[in-house]
Amino acid sequence: MHPVLDDLITLLNLERIEDNIFRGESRDIGSAQVFGGQVLGQALSAAQHTVDGRVAHSLHAYFLRRGDMEAPIVYEVDRARDGGSFSNRRVVAIQHGRPILNLAASFQSPEQGVEHQARMPEVPGPGDCRDILETESDQLQKMPEKMRRHMADKRAFEIRPVLQDSRSGMPQKNVWLRTVDTLPATLALHQNLLAYASDYELLSVSTLPHDLPFGKGAVIMASLDHALWFHRPVHIDEWLLYSMDSPNASGARGLARGQFFNQGGELIASTAQEGLVRVVTGAASKRSDPKLQD
C-alpha cells in the first residue's frame, strides 16, 4: 500500500488504553493546528471500537479548541445507548486536560426500507478532469510552504476539481476524489476516511462569491461544527464526486453543504458545516483570533 495512505490508516486506527478510552497522534499537513478532518475521523473510529454488528449512519460534532500537533489526543467514549436497532455514542477528544471536540455518533443494524435520493450533478467525469496541482496552481501558491509540500508529496487522496467559470462567483464546487491506493474491504475504515476527507475545502465554498484578500492574511477561517450522514456503503478507493454548495453566509459565519456520489450516480453520504469566516483589517489581521486559542 502507498506509504502515506498506510500512515493515515494507522493514524485513524487509534491505541486502546481502556475499554472506552483511546489515544491518537497527529500529522502536520502544514496548517497552524491539527486538521479538523483528522479529529473527526479519529473520534468516529473511537466510537466504532465500542460498537459490534452495527454501522455508523450519522455523526454530529462541535470543534471547541484548536488541536496541538505536538501532543497526543485522548478520546473518551460514553456508551450512551444500545437499543434494539440503534446504538448511540458520545465522544470527547481531550488535549492538555481540556476538550477540543465533542462528537455524537449513531449506529444502526443493517435493514431495508423505502429509497429515493437527490440527482447527481451533470459534470465531467474524473477521466476528463486534471489533478488539483495542475488546475489550481495559483491558489496553491497562496498556501504556506509546508501545506504546499503536503499537497504535492504527501497526499493520501487524489483530488481532481471540476473546472467552472471563475467569474461566475457561484457558491458551489465539484471535486472528484479517491484514495491513492486500494483499501481493505472494511466499511468502518472507508467511513473513517470519508469523515477525514469531508473536511477538505468545504468551508471555503462559502467564500466563493466574495473577493476576500486571503493572500494578505486578512481572513480568519475555522470550522465550528460538522455533520455527516452515511446513506449507502462507502468505497473511498473508487472515485467519488464531492458536490458542495453554500446556501448562506452571515454574522461572520459561512454555511456549506456537501454530497458524495459514486460514479454510478448513487448518493453515498451528505455533510454540512458551519464555520467562522471573519474579515479583519489593519493591525487586527496580524493577531491570532482569541476564539481559536481558547
Write out the catalytic residue numbers: 199, 223, 273
- Cell 491506493, residue located: 181
d(CA 180, CA 260) in angstroms, rounded, equals 18
According to DSSP, the residues that pair with 107 across neighbouring strands are: 56, 87
Q: What angle do CA 286, 201, 157 make, to 5 degrees?
A: 120
- The three cell numbers of residue 125 are 467525469
- DSSP 3-state assignment of 245? strand
Main-chain dihedrals φ then ψ at residue 204, nearest 5 degrees: -60, -20
Q: What are the CA-CA distances from residue 242 to residues 134, 255, 261 (Å)?
A: 19, 16, 7
Contacts (Cβ under 8 Å, ≥6 apart) of 24: 11, 12, 14, 15, 42, 45, 46, 72, 73, 75
d(CA 115, CA 138) in angstroms, rounded, equals 42
Sheet order of strands, 86-95 included: 15-18, 21-24, 73-82, 86-95, 98-108, 55-63, 219-230, 267-279, 253-262, 240-250, 172-179, 157-161
d(CA 76, CA 95) in angstroms, rounded, equals 11
